[in-house]
Structure 1
Amino acid sequence: MSRTLYSLIFILCMPLVLLRLLYRARKAPAYARRWHERFAFGGDLRPGGIWVHAVSVGEAIASAPLVRQLMQRYPELPITISCMTPTGSEQIRKLFDDKVGHVYLPYDLPGLQRRFINRLQPRIGIIMETELWPNLVHEAKAAGVPMVLANARLSERSARGYRRISWLVEPMFAALDWVAVQTQAEALRFKRLGVKEESMLITGSIKFDLQPDPHAREQAAQLRSSWGERPVWIAASTHAGEDEQVLAAHKQVLVSVPEALLILVPRHPERFNSAAELVEAAGMPLVRRSSGAIVAHTDQVFLGDSMGELMMLYSCADVAFVGGSLVATGGHNYLEPAALGLPIISGPHRYNFAEISELLEGAGALRQVRDAKTLAAAVVKWLEQPAEAHRAGAAGQTVVQDNQGALERLLHGIAQQLK
């Protein structure tokens, strides 16, 4: 009954959903394409194999080591990866080209999810992190498809939201066959929402199993060498309302370190142009990555307006600020700069990666700031004290290495479900 009510509400809201899609297409035209896939038609499906759902860019990147291992261990099983956003789609194609199938996940209506599952006929469904939909899980279970929640995370804030609609989500959580959860605290939250204790294992985060790409490191070294000996800091995955604070901080950094270069990487490509306009309005000489131009010694900002190059751009920097944390977005993946040995700065909003950021902070690899002034002070301190910055970066690398192994535990659990 609860799922029927949910489906009815979803149907009534579909005009608003489609209007929102059109609105988003104004800034990101890719949202206006491939609509048929959102209604379970078309798409590059590879039936009879492994289905992985990675909602957007972050989940797609996190799933990459898992997908590569699945390709090696089960070469007879085709893999299809679904997502929800054009940026996620672009990232999947960049990571895997045509080695995997790829499609947008349909809207969560019973008929659409049923048609999707019937067309795909997966041996197993693997959902990255917490991208769960009631009708999706129900239709997969009705078709006898084992459902795994991989690298599962659930902040206290998200758990409170789920508890408000417990009448809807508890049957969904209870239907999961296996949950590979990142931490003990998150396991308790999942249990309160209906996940069976015997169907859950604390595996840690597969994001710790990140292995920096040597080719990206080499590319970064070439790019960095063209900039000379100047100090470089990066503000990565920034959001609206955050770029202004980062640029204000960079102005203060330049007072103490006049030759400093900022790499600014907005989280969403539809904001690349607006970020460039903010830089220009701030009176800072700018070079865009997409232009292919060489950074001159007078340039003060390098805009990372490209997709799939974040790790390469991190590798160009001496200090990393992780965005989504000076605004109430919850932070992004702190392990990417940590794996590269960079000292890390974060704003106060880091609830999406609370446990990971606390580990790094406890090791001395991460500093928290609250605004442009404290951000500038943290950047200057590490740029002017490279030995201390190196120690902090090395501590972060140690945290990453000490917590690896989640990927192997996840693969073992998936193997049990495929038997």
Structure 2
Amino acid sequence: MTLVRSLYAALTWAAQPLLRRKLRRRAQQEPGYAEAIPERFGHYQPADLGAEGLGQWLWVHAVSLGETRAAAILLQALRDQHPGLKLLLTHGTATGRAEGKKLLRPGDIQVWQPWDSLGATRRFVRQFQPVAGVLMETEIWPNLLAACREAGVPVALANARLNAKSLAGAQRWAALSQPAYRSLAAIWAQTEDDAARLRQLGVQVSGVFGNVKFDTVPDAQQLAQGHVWRAASERPVLLLASSREGEEALWLAAAQRLRAEGQGARIPVQWLIVPRHPQRFDEVQQLIEQAGLTVSRRSRWTGEAATQSPAAADVWLGDSMGEMPLYYALAHAGLLGGSFERLGGQNLIEAAACGCPMLLGPHTFNFAEAAEQACNAGAALRVEDMAAAVQQATALVQNGTQLAAMQQQALAFASTHRGAAQATAQAVLALAWPQGVPG
């Protein structure tokens, strides 16, 4: 073990009390963080172990909500090819774990990602003995990968992406990052740009398969319900999708200016706000109501007749999880959360698959190529800031011809780039079972 790895190992061991304290604080807002805390340190209850899958589990790590949704698409492709697949699923966040529970089948196991200390990672690998591991998108942990290498467990980075900021960080800590990346058995990148940045770390990229999120199939029932509600709305519906902290205030200021320009007239569109993180639902409602606007929350629409528009209000608040297809279908167009602050933007592919054109702020470095492709395809528009987004979106939904064209172009854009999930699934199965998938 190198000196740098030894120092890193000492730091991760010493930081464990701080992690426990952080989890207690996070649990005050998100109770999921209080669940099964010993798993974080490689200690498991007998009910977690499921000996029937020992040495057979395919381990998939999806740190948070976005990665878990990508993992769901890949898992469907894997199970289509290997119906008897036994899954070991790990996460780092409460939202990821909650979403991941929906993916489990009898014989599968879900636990927390082990903290990257020597002891926790070695206990994790020794306990479950996965046949192979798949890390979704960006998750690289030096001690965890070292433990897998020592145990002979091949691990791949799937749907891999690496933006310029992350590349700079990895180069700054090259003594840790390069050995970790080089210990991977395979890297399957989303784009040629991602592959080029990964190669700058001195690692080999096994393939460029595209983004598995293009293979998403929106829930048909949610789409149908969203379309019914959209048709029943008295005003065009605009969505601020997966908004992050600070963006709702920017939107509110822009919407209020638009309202003032109409001499106090009612806002000409129906706004639907869906915050990215559930612990912020109440905070966003309070922000909107403090501005004198009324709010109707999705969680209170359950008594509505399916053919009626949701309750009348200045703003609808999407306070549910797992219903983005419904929200995209309910909206005529949307604004991409995370792109109006320096956060890199959220995934716009699901919106396109639902036929919802998006307006993008200046910060889309997390999905740079997909954002550029969407704009080039006419499925999205780039704007300079939130004020421009609100103004242009309001104009767009009042231009029926342009709006209908963009909705069709969004659907076409999503369908054009499919196929990554199938290619990735084939590569995963070949890595895990090079002699052929067991019957």
TM band (smaller chain): over 0.9
> How many pairs are equivalent?
416
For 2:243, the equivalent position in structure 1 comes to: 238
Assess, with a 3 A threshold, how the Cα gap between structure 1 residues 258 and 22 changes in structure 2: closer, same or farther: same
Could you tell me how far 1:66 is from its partner in structure 2?
1.0
Aligned position for 2:269 = 260
What's 1:204 paired with?
Answer: 210
Q: Deviations over 1:72-114 (max 9, x none)?
A: 3223331121001111111112344767321111100111111
Residue of structure 2 aligned with 1:57, choices 22, 41, 65: 65
- Decide whether the 8 Å contact of 1:50 with 1:122 is kept in 2: yes
- Matched to 1:204, the amino acid is G
CA–CA distance in structure 1, aligned partners of residues 323 and 102 of structure 2: 10
Q: Which moved more, 1:81-90 or 1:256-265?
A: 256-265
2:337 and 2:67 map into 1 onto residues whose CA distance is 17
Q: Which residue of 2 aligns with 1:344?
A: 358
1:415 has 2:429 as partner: yes
Check conservation: 2:269, 2:394, Cα contact below 8 A.
Answer: no
Partner amino acid for 2:295? Answer: L
Distance change in 2, residues 1:222/1:3 (3 Å): same
Q: Which moved more, 1:285-294 or 1:119-128?
A: 285-294
Q: Which moved more, 1:20-29 or 1:51-60?
A: 20-29
User: 1:217 — aligned with what?
Assistant: 223
- Please say if residues 348 and 368 of structure 1, whose CA atoms lie closer than 8 Å, have aligned partners that are also in contact: yes
Q: Matched residues in 2 for 1:219 and 1:263: separation?
A: 15
Aligned match of 2:395 in 356, 359, 381?
381
User: What is the aligned counterpart of 2:334 among 320, 330, 333?
Assistant: 320
* 1:113 lines up with 2:115 in the alignment: no
SS at match of 1:315: helix
The AA in structure 2 aligned to 1:55 is: V
Cα offset, 1:250, TM superposition: 3.0
Equivalent residue of 2:397, what SS? helix
Amino acid at match of 2:30: A
1:157 to 154, 165, 188: 165
Deviation at 1:241, TM superposition (A): 0.6
Query: Contact 1:253 / 1:260 at 8 angstroms: preserved in 2?
Result: no
Distance (whole Å) between structure 2 residues aligned to residue 339 and residue 56 of structure 1: 21
Counterpart in the other structure of 1:307: 321
Match of 2:98 among 83, 90, 94: 90
AA in 2 matched with 1:9: L
Once residues 408 and 322 of structure 1 are traced to their aligned partners in structure 2, the CA distance between those partners, rounded to angstroms, is 27
**Letter of the 1:4 counterpart:** S
- Report the counterpart of residue 277 of structure 1 in structure 2: 286
Distance apart, 1:16 and its partner CA: 2.6
2 CA distance for matches of 1:27 and 1:375?
31
Of residues 352-361 and 202-211 in structure 1, the stretch that sits farther from structure 2 once superposed is: 202-211
Establish whether residue 14 from structure 1 lines up as the match of residue 16 from structure 2: yes
Name the structure 2 match of 1:251: 256
**Contact 1:171-1:194 within 8 A present in 2 as well:** no
* Contact 1:153/1:186, CA 8 A, preserved across alignment: yes
Q: Cα–Cα, structure 1 residues 9 and 327, in superposed 2: closer, same or farther, change >3 Å? A: same
Distance 1:397 1:222, change over 3 A: closer
Q: Deviations over 1:327-356 (max 9, x none)?
A: 111101011111112221111111000111
* 1:37 Cα offset (Å): 1.1
The one-letter code of the counterpart of 1:202 is V
Runs of 4+ in 1 over 6 A off after TM superposition: none
Aligned partner letter, 1:20: K
**Is the alpha carbon distance of 1:139 and 1:345 closer, same or farther for their aligned partners in structure 2, counting shifts above 3 Å?**
same
Q: Partner of 1:81: helix, strand, or coil?
A: strand
The one-letter amino acid of 2:248's match is D
* Shift in Å, 1:23: 2.3
Measure the CA separation in 2 of the matches of 1:323 and 1:380. Answer: 17
Q: 5+ unaligned residues in a row in structure 2: which ranges?
A: 435-439
Question: Hey, what does 1:370 align to over in structure 2?
Answer: 384
Tell me the TM-score normalized by structure 1.
0.94
State the partner residue of 2:39: 37
CA distance in 2, matches of 1:342, 1:90: 26
Q: Which runs of 5 or more residues in structure 1 are unaligned?
A: none
Q: Is the 8 A contact 1:150 1:410 kept in 2?
A: yes
TM-score when normalising by structure 2: 0.90
Contact 1:237-1:324 at 8 Å conserved across structures: yes
* Counterpart for residue 437 of structure 2: none
Distance 1:352 1:369 in 2: 17
Residues 325 and 346 in structure 1, CA contact (< 8 A), matched pair in contact too: yes
